[in-house]
Every structure is written in C-alpha cells, then in structure tokens.
Amino acid sequence: MPRDAMVRLLRVWAVVALALPAWAALTGAWGPARSIASGDPVLPRPPAAPILTLWVRWQAPPGASAWVVLEPDGGRAAVSDEAYRRRRIRPGWNQLIWDDFSGFPADRAVCLRLIDGAGPLAIAPPVASSWYGLQQLRPMRGLVAALLLGAAAAGALAWPRRAVGGARFRGGRWPRPGAWHLWLGAVALGALVLRAFTLTAQSFWFDEVLTAIGAQSFAWVLYSAQIFGHPPLQYLVAWAAGGAAATEGTVRLPFVAAGVASVVALGFLGRRLIGPATGLLAASVIAVSPYHVELSQLARPYALVVLAVAVSWLALFRALERARAVDWLAFSAAAALAFYIHYLGGMVVIVQAAVAAVWVARRRDGRGAPALLSFAGVAVLLAPWLDVVRPLIGAQLDRGVRAAGALDDFVLHVFLPEQVGPGVAGLFTLGLCLLALWDLRSRPEVALAALLSPTVPFALLWAMNPAHALAGRHFAFVLPMVTLLIAHGLLTAARRIDALVAWRPPLPALPVRRAVPALIAVGLMVATHLPAGAALGGYYRWRQGTDWRTVAEVLDRLVGPDDEVLATLGAVYPLRFYWRPSVVETDTEPLRARFGAGPPKHRVWLVTLDGWDGKPGLQEWLAANTIVVGEVPASWSRQRVYIHAVVRAKPRA
C-alpha cells in the first residue's frame, strides 16, 4: 500500500478514535445528581420543548432490570400511555429520552415512577430540546460514524476519476454499461417483480409489528434496541420510511429495495471473486430464491444484513487486491453496519479476519498493516454500542439447552433446506457446493470465505450456548457465500459436462462454443430449482387470506364499549397495533391471581395464539374458566387465533 494512502487511512481512524470518546464525554450525565423516590416529580410542569433527555441512576444488583415511566402528578397513565412512555433501566446511569407530552396537563408536575423493580433512584438535571442533536444521538454515535464513513467511501468510489487502464473518463462520466451490466439489470428487475408481488397482501406478523412499534418515533428508535434485543438500524430505516404514519407497504419497501440491491451486490461480488459468469448466475439464483424473496418482504433486518455482508465481502477483496484507503474504509463501515443491523451479522467479521490473515500470509505484499488498522477500526465503530449489548449478551450466554442432536436437527431440517433447498434437489445442490469448493482450491481465500461463513457462526453459537431460540432467518448473513458456491458449482458442473460430451456436433463459431457451458448451467439451475419454484408459488398462496386485520374486524363485532380485552404475549402487540392500544397483556399467573369464582361484572375477552400459548397451566385454566367464541384460521402472518369469553372472574376492587 502506498505510504500516502496509509497515512490518510491512519489519520481517518485517529480522528474517529478521538471523536467518539469525546462525544461520549461531552454528552454524559452532567450536573449534580438528585436522589428521588418512585413517583417523585422530575419537572414542575411538562417541558416547553418536545424532546426531554433525562439521565437516571438506579442502584440495584448487577444484571437486574426494571422499568420507569413518566406520568402526570396525581394520575396513573392508561395502559396504552404507559406502554408508550415506559423505558427500561439497568443498574448505573441510563440515558432516557421522551418526545411526546401531549397528554400531560400543563399545570401538573411530571413524575417518574419505578415499575417492576426496587432500589434508590437519582437523576441528573433534565435537558429539553427542540431537535435531536449530539446529546440525544449519544448511544448511536458508533452507528452515525459508520454511516458517515460508508457514505463518504461510497461517494469516493462512485466518483468517475480514472478507468482501469489509467485513462480518464470523458467528461467525468462513467463508460456505457456493457452486456454483462445489462443482463444484471434485467435480473435485478425480475427480482424486484418477485419481491413486490403480494407485498401488502398480509398484515405485519409479530416481529414486524415490533419493527413498526420501534419506529413510531425517533425516541423509540433510540430506545427499541434495549427492549426488543435487536440493533437500531432496522428501526431507523422503518422510521425514515414513515414512522407511525407508515403503512405495511411503505415500511416494507426499504427492505424490498435492500433485497434487490443484494442481488446486484452479489453479482458484482461473484464477478470479482470468481468471474462474470459466476456473478451473473449467483445474482439469478438469489433473485428466484423463495428464502430470499421472503426475507426481502419482511420489515425485519435480514435483507439489510444480506446486503451489508455482501458489500463488506466485496470491499474486503477490493481492498486486498487494490490496497486503496477508500476500499479499506468501505470495508470497515460495511462490516460495522452488518453488526448494527443484526448481531449475528457481526460474526462475519471473524471469518473476514481469517481470510485477510491468509491473504497477507500467502503474499506478504504489505497489506497487513492496513488490514490490521481497518479491523481495529471496526472495533472502534462498535465500541460505543457495548453499553447496550453487554447486558443482552450476559442474559443469553450459557443459558440455552445444549441438547444432544439439537444443532444437527436445526442444520438438517431448517438451515440446509432454506439455504440450498429441500429434498433430493437440496442434496444435489449441496453436492454442487462441494464441487465448487474443490474447484476453488487454487483460490484458497475465496474457498476459505465460503467454507468458514456457515461453520464459524455455528461453532461459536454452540460454544456460547445462547438461550435465544434460533430460526433459519437468523443465518441470512451466510446467504451471499452459499449462493456464490451454488452458482460456481453449477458452472463447474456445466463445464465438466460440456467437456465429457464427445458426441456433440462441431461448433465453429467461438461465441457459440463459449455459450454451451452457460446454457448447460442454466439448464442445471432450472432442474435444481424446480422445487424452489413450487415453494415460491406456495409462499405466494400462503400470503393470501386472513390476517391480523381480520382478527381486529372480529373483535369489533364482539367487543362492547365497556368490555375488557386481554391477550397473551403473541397477540398483545399485534392487537395494540391493528385494533386498540388498550389491550392488556396477561399470562397464566396473572389470570389465576385475578380470576376466580363468581360471574364477572363486565364482559372480559381473552385472545390467545395456537402454538404460542400451549403451556399446560394456561390450557388448564382456559378449559376451566373460558369458552371459545371465535376462531380465525392461521395464515402467513400468524398462527390460529382463539377468542375466549371469560365466564368466571373476581369482582374488580
């Protein structure tokens, strides 16, 4: 790497490494701390500015968590208001932000109440402001830095400075796209059509509702990562798409765009790592993948993480090959963004570090210092988020059930069918992946990247034994490298078949001879992806029919003005979003504590979900105390819904 480029890279990271701690220090909890009890006033009246930043210190044992809520003096917040205004706190200082005081009387004090916890509270002087500045963005300073670096690197890479051969572009313009780019554009257009079809046919499912809730205001974007356990970028994207006023289509649209962009990014990644044919075929494979189509139609982080991982791999190999500072900055930004999109996406950095180490060790071409600096830069960008993610990791580590065969069952029955396909076609596709790995033995860095991308995350998860349940979509970050293997396996098999078939007639025209392996590869792709096509048709059919909007219509017909509606966890958030915010969350123990002998004084309805609420204790209570009066069949967005009428209840106090 040229000395001046290394100096520029070092300067950038020196500025970032100094700026982020300075940002944290200047926007911390300043001023004298004041001890308060739960329910004490923190402000004499609602703030004149719409945004309130409050630092709260809670003294409690390590690992504890509780809630605090802002409410007017002398009045408890309604269920819907409390759900919007409450914030999670942990031991030590907590930065909390609220941005809506429309329901507070102007002549009453604003009080802070502790919920589901005990321990002394203290607050720093509250800060009211009219806009979100450095103080409010403090928890997301690493994400902001990654976005700025990524935007700067993308702008520098997109600026048409010099062609590959050294000649400047005429008029500062890019050259006209060639046939390969036009074919890739056609594949991307087809991918867009597949991902736009049935996009708004179904309501949000449970996890998408959480995305919509987390995007209802910018204060919730800052806060959602601490309650829902996911990084903030998906909530930021959904908020930018419209926030609380957005529909299903507008919230999902950025994720569709990310899915289509992933198709394009994978085409360029395959072209750089292996060749133009592999890149184009890889883009085609992922474009028609039912797994990726569904990921792209979800208002969840999975399409975004596929895009970020593909871009980070592309930037890494460009940096290793070209040794330009802008490529290394693009890699660091993309790798950090993959973590800020989905925590498991951060595992790719470990694989990328191994690949870079092998590249440097084999060539000894001076790439080691910029590579080490760039991976350190990723750590600098992620360090500000440790305060948020550390409690989440601590609550998960070594608390899962490491049952014998559990990981094998997940790999065989979930991961492989989604990534390579089900049944015999999946086994054939897996064989193509092995063939591709064998053919890539002359390119060990590419083969290592493809081999370690799925194996290292599984090994780490097995060692950490997390309590969080695993789903196939959590491993979406593996898709770019798996798809490249499938595409290269198809081309390798096609070339082998083309070489073995001796009876074909002579093909004098060179373009025709070159087209034969490509045609064979396309034929193999069609044959191996026929089950995938059937699965895609079944997926589209599954997205038709009833959804949470149907459940809301049923409740509108059943529930009277004085009735009360309860719901278990799987139903409460969708019902609050699609029906009424007044729905109260409940479970077995609260039901037993509240309801007993005697008829209720008012009608009480209970909504449960098939599959979510199969606990024996709850089912026994439901059988003894309720009657099923409504049932909505299962669909893509939810399991079967049961609406119960509670027939025995304690009178309210």
DSSP string, 283-327: HHHHHT-HHHHHHHTSSSTHHHHHHHHHHHHHHHHHHHHH--HHH
CATH number at residue 113: 2.60.120
**Element (DSSP H or E) covering residue 644:** strand 641-646
Domain for residue 572, yes or no? yes
Q: What pLDDT sits at residue 599?
A: 62
Q: What pLDDT sits at residue 145?
A: 97
Nearest Cα to 128, choosing from 52, 32, 205? 52
For residue range 587-619, what is the model confidence (pLDDT) as tens digits?
999 888 888 656 667 899 999 999 888 788 999
CB 493 within 8 A of CB 281: no
Q: Are residues 95 and 148 in the same domain?
A: no
Domain for residue 83, yes or no? yes
Q: Are residues 306 and 440 in the same domain?
A: yes
For residue range 57-96, what is the model confidence (pLDDT) as tens digits?
999 998 889 999 999 998 777 777 788 889 999 999 999 9
Q: Are residues 184 and 227 in the same domain?
A: yes
CB 143 within 8 A of CB 137: no
For residue range 152-179, what is the model confidence (pLDDT) as tens digits?
999 988 875 554 444 444 445 666 788 9
Q: What residues make up the domain containing 75?
A: 34-136
Contacts of 619 (CB under 8 A, 6+ apart): 613
Q: In whole angstroms, what is the distance from residue 244 CA to residue 217 CA?
A: 7
CB 64 within 8 A of CB 148: no
Domain for residue 147, yes or no? yes
Q: In whole angstroms, what is the distance from residue 126 CA to residue 110 CA?
A: 11
Q: What are the DSSP calls for 599-610, one per residue?
A: --SS-EEEEEET
Extract the tokens encoding 262: 């992933």
Domain for residue 227, yes or no? yes
Query: What 3-state class would DSSP assign to 58?
Result: strand
Q: Are residues 117 and 206 in the same domain?
A: no
Domain for residue 17, yes or no? no
Domain for residue 111, yes or no? yes
**pTM of the entire structure?**
0.91
Domain for residue 4, yes or no? no
Q: What pLDDT sits at residue 460?
A: 85
CB 430 within 8 A of CB 416: yes
Domain boundary among 520, 541, 562: 541
Q: 433-471 burial, b if ≥16 CB within 10 A, otherwise e?
A: bebbbebbeeeebbbbbbbbbbebbbeebeeeebeeebe
Q: Are residues 485 and 572 in the same domain?
A: no
Q: Are residues 556 and 528 in the same domain?
A: no
Strands 564-567 and 584-585: parallel
Q: Are residues 361 and 483 in the same domain?
A: yes
Q: Provide long-range contacts, Cβ within 8 A and 24+ apart, for 104-107.
A: 104/46, 104/72, 105/46, 105/72, 106/45, 106/46, 107/45
Extract the tokens encoding 34: 């004041």
Q: What pLDDT sits at residue 199?
A: 94
CB 648 within 8 A of CB 597: yes
Nearest Cα to 97, choosing from 155, 144, 60, 47? 47
Strands 121-123 and 51-58: antiparallel
Nearest Cα to 575, choosing from 204, 116, 96? 204
Query: What 3-state class would DSSP assign to 418?
Result: helix
Q: Are residues 575 and 619 in the same domain?
A: yes
Q: What pLDDT sits at residue 103?
A: 83
Domain boundary among 495, 514, 541: 541
Q: What pLDDT sits at residue 167?
A: 45
Domain for residue 107, yes or no? yes
Q: Which residues of the chain have pLDDT under 70?
A: 160-175, 394-405, 465-469, 500-534, 596-600, 648-653
Contacts of 604 (CB under 8 A, 6+ apart): 563, 564, 565, 566, 595, 645, 646, 649
Q: Are residues 527 and 559 in the same domain?
A: no
Strands 92-98 and 51-58: antiparallel
Contacts of 325 (CB under 8 A, 6+ apart): 1, 5, 6, 8, 9, 12, 370
Q: Are residues 96 and 191 in the same domain?
A: no
Q: In whole angstroms, what is the distance from residue 182 CA to residue 301 CA?
A: 29
Q: What pLDDT sits at residue 164?
A: 44
Strands 564-567 and 604-609: parallel
Instruction: Give the chain's domain count.
Output: 3
Domain boundary among 501, 516, 541: 541
Q: Are residues 254 and 344 in the same domain?
A: yes
Angle, helices 233-240 vs 325-341, to 10°: value is: 90
Burial label for 375, CB within 10 Å (0-12, 13-18, 19+), is: buried
Nearest Cα to 273, choosing from 477, 430, 450? 450
Q: Are residues 57 and 79 in the same domain?
A: yes
